[in-house]
Amino acid sequence: MRSIPDRLKRLRVGSGDVGFSVILAIQALIIFVVAPLAATASASVELIEMLRFGLAATTILIVARNASVQAVVGAAFAATLIATLHWRLGQTASVIQAVKIVITILFDLVVAAVVGFAAFRPGRVTVHRILGAVILYLYVALIFADVYRLAAMILTPSFSGLPTGPRARFSGLLYFSLSSLTTAGAADIVAIHPFIRSLASLEAVIGQLFPATLLARLVTLHATAEMKD
């Protein structure tokens, strides 16, 4: 019979694993629903920030297990919220937009790191931890999309066929990022600058190696554990 501390530890681990499912649901909503709606002006910035709050809250309360990590995630989200508030108040200078993109990239990197450490930690591999690896894979697309946004502001010429307007541009670059990650190819949006082409090639390499190595490893460990049971 397990002791009470063992039961509490098991409950905490299980709760963290379930958090992966929540994060994946919010992440899929942002990528596949909100971003396209934002491109058509059918979704507001407030909705995106609410979903980002959901990501931060889930990571802090459920997945992250260290108080310092929780503080870093909370601070990163607060910074993105402040940057968005400046943008909403009309401060649309290129510097403000660039700072917001950089802060968003840092926020995504922090959340992705927390999810990655939790998904690949030692211990029994569950279905939820496999979902955590999927979250990390999709975060690659989100982070590269923001890197492309920043590169498009700095490098000229950057892309051919990229939609105009901040919301449509983000949706288009997210589409380009996902196409590069999955090597599906975005025929209507083409990277022109050599540096951006190099970034797209790097993302394609990550997109090929990640499922074949890290994700496959977790699935194998999960299947092995199921067979032993």
- Helix H, strand E, coil C: the string for the chain is CCCHHHHHHHHHHHHHHHHHHHHHHHHHHHHHHHHHHHHCCCCCHHHHHHHHHHHHHHHHHHHCCCHHHHHHHHHHHHHHHHHHHHHHCCCCCHHHHHHHHHHHHHHHHHHHHHHHHHHCCCCCCCHHHHHHHHHHHHHHHHHHHHHHHHHHHHCCCCEECCCCCHHHHHHHHHHHHHHHHCCCCCCCCEECCHHHHHHHHHHHHHHHHHHHHHHHHHHHHHHHHHHHC
Q: What is the model's pLDDT at position 229?
A: 66
Residue 75 binned pLDDT confidence (cut-offs 50, 70, 90): confident
Tens-digit pLDDT profile for residues 163-182: 877 778 888 999 999 999 99
Percent of the chain with pLDDT over 70: 83
Which of 137, 143, 141, 147 shows the shortest CA–CA distance to 193?
147
Q: Looking at per-residue confidence, does 57 or 119 come out higher?
A: 119
Asked if residue 199 has pLDDT above 90, the reply is yes
* pLDDT reading at 192 higher than 90: yes
pLDDT at 198 (0 to 100): 96
Cα angle: 142, vertex 25, 6; to 5 degrees: 110
Strand partners, 122: none
Exposure b/e, 178-199, CB count within 10 A at least 16 = b: bbbbeeeebeebebebeebeeb
d(CA 115, CA 110): 9
| Over residues 73-92, mean pLDDT | 64
In terms of Cα–Cα distance, which of 209, 150, 94, 140 is closest to 86?
94
Domain boundaries, the chain: 4-228
* Residue range 36-53, pLDDT digits in tens: 888 887 776 667 767 877
**Chain mean pLDDT for the chain:** 79
pLDDT at 139: 92
- Closest alpha carbon to 177 in 156, 155, 162: 162
Categorize the per-residue pLDDT at 93 as very low, low, confident or very high, splitting at 50, 70 and 90.
Answer: low
**With b meaning 16 or more CB within 10 Å and e meaning fewer, what string describes 6-24?**
eeeeeeebeebbbbbebbb
107 or 85, which is more confident = 107
pLDDT, tens digit, 9 for 90 and up, residues 105-161: 888 888 888 888 888 888 888 888 888 899 999 999 999 999 999 999 888 889 998
Task: Name every residue whose Cβ is closer than 8 Å to that of residue 164 and which is 6 or more positions away in sequence.
Answer: none
Please determine, for residue 90, whether its predicted confidence score (pLDDT) is greater than 60. Answer: no
